[in-house]
A and B are shown apart, each in its own frame.
Chain A
C-alpha cells in the first residue's frame, strides 16, 4: 500500500488540505448553481494547483460526480420532472461510452498523462462555448415524428416554471441523441467529468426536451455513466482514497449549498466566471502539457 502526499506549493499538509476542501467545495457549489457537475473545474484544479497525476485527478473527480448525481437526482425523480424512460434509453450509450473511455485511460493512455492533459483542453473549450451560448429553447408541439421515441413512449409532462401550467412534450431525434450521449459517456470515462454540459443542450435543442427536464434527466443519468468509469478506475488502483474522501465530502456539501442558494446566485456573472476559469484552465493545461510550467 503506497503512500501519496499531495501538497500545495510550500504549504504544510494541513493548510494544503484546507485549500483542497475549499476548491472542491467551490467546484460543487458553482457547478450546482449552474446546473453542471464540478468535474470540469476539479480535474484542472487538482492537476494544476496540487500537481496530482491526471489519472488520479480523473479518478477522484469521477467518484465525486457519482455522489453529486445521486444526491441531486432523487428529488426530481420522485417529483416526476426527470424523464426516467429517456434516461434509461440514453444510458445505453453513456454507459458504453463511460466504460470505453475509462478502459482507454487505464490501458492505452496509462503511461501517457500528457495526452490526457491535451484531451482535456478541447473538451474544456467546447464546454465554455456551450455555457456561453446556452439558452432555454422552448419545445415545439409537433416535432418531426420519431418512430423509436413513439415505440419507447419517451414523451412526458412537466410544469412550466414561470407559468405553472402543465405541458406535455414529445421527444424526437433519438439517433442523434444517442450519438451525443455516447460522446458524453466517453468524455466522462476518459476525463472524469459528468458530461451534462453536452447532454443537456443536445436533449434541449435536438430532442425537443424542455431545459428543466433535460437537466434533471442528465443529472439522473450521470450516476450510471460515472459508475461505468469509476468501477474501472477503482479496481485499476487509480482511486487514491485519501484524496477522494475530502474531495467527495467537500464537493457534496458544495452541491447542497449551490442548490439551496443557486436561485439567488447571479447566474449571468457566474457564467462569465465559469467561462473565464475554463479558458484559463485550458491555457494552463496546454502550458503543462508542453512542459512550459512544472
Chain B
C-alpha cells in the first residue's frame, strides 16, 4: 500500500471498516438531539415572554440542570442544546481514535489522539477560566 501508482483502478479502503457509517450516524444524531433541545428551549423562552431576543449570559451550573429541565426552564434546554452540539465533534474524534486503535493504525492513533487532547484542552481552559 504505497499509493505510488496513481493509475491503478482500486485504492484499498483507507479507513477502518464501519468508521464512515458510524461517524455519519453520530453527526446526524448529534444535530437532531441538539436541534430538538434548542427548538424546545426557544419555544419555551418565547412562550414565557422572556424572549424578544433576550438571553442569559454564560453557562448554567451543571448542578440542578436536570431539575431545571423538568421545571421547563428555557435556558436549561438551550444550554443542553449548545453543549450537545459542541460535544458531537469531540465524540466523533474519540470514535475515530477507537477505530484506528482497533486496527492498530499507529500514525492515526497518534493523530486522532492529539486532536482529542487539543479539544479536551479547550474544555479544560474554559472550565478553569
Contacts and interface: CB of A to CB of B under 8 A. Distances in A.
Interface string A34-75: 000000000000000010000000000001001101110111
Interface string B22-44: 01110110110011001101100
Given A228-B122, A234-B86, 20 more contacts: A3-B54, A7-B52, A17-B51, A71-B27, A77-B27, A78-B21, A84-B14, A84-B19, A88-B108, A88-B112, A99-B125, A103-B125, A168-B6, A226-B89, A227-B90, A232-B122, A235-B125, A235-B127, A242-B75, A248-B38
Interface in A124-178: 141-142, 150-153, 155-157, 166, 168-170
A241 B129 contact: no
Contacts of B4: 150
Nearest to A17: B53
Contacts of B59: 234-235, 237, 239
B65 interface: no
A106 B54 contact: no
Interface in A162-218: 166, 168-170
Nearest to B41: A245
B125 A150 contact: no
A16 B75 contact: no
A245 B78 contact: yes
Interface stretch (A89-97, A111-119, A258-266): A89-97
Chain B interface size, as a band, is: 35 or more
A83 B41 CA distance: 36
Contacts of B52: 5-7, 12-14, 16-17
A202 to B, nearest CB: 19
A20 interface: yes
Contacts of B126: 231-236
A153 B14 contact: yes
A84 B129 CA distance: 33
Nearest to B85: A66
Interface of A: 1-7, 12-14, 16-17, 20, 50, 63, 66-67, 69-71, 73-75, 77-78, 80, 84-85, 88-89, 91-92, 95-96, 98-99, 102-103, 106-107, 141-142, 150-153, 155-157, 166, 168-170, 223-224, 226-237, 239-246, 248-249, 252
Given A66-B88, A88-B115, A242-B56, A157 B15 contact: no
Nearest to A228: B122
A17 B104 CA distance: 51
A89 to B, nearest CB: 6
Contacts of A157: 11
B66 interface: no
Interface in B43-96: 45, 50-59, 75, 78-79, 81-83, 85-90, 92-93, 96
A246 B23 contact: no
A66 B129 CA distance: 22
Given A77-B20, A223-B27, A246-B42, A231 B54 contact: no
A241 B75 CA distance: 7
Contacts of A98: 122
A142 B85 CA distance: 40
A3 B55 contact: yes
A231 B53 contact: no
A42 B86 CA distance: 19
A229 to B, nearest CB: 7
A75 B82 CA distance: 22
Contacts of A151: 107
A239 B82 contact: yes
The 8 closest A-B pairs by CB, nearest first: A242-B55, A13-B52, A235-B126, A237-B58, A78-B24, A241-B78, A223-B89, A231-B122
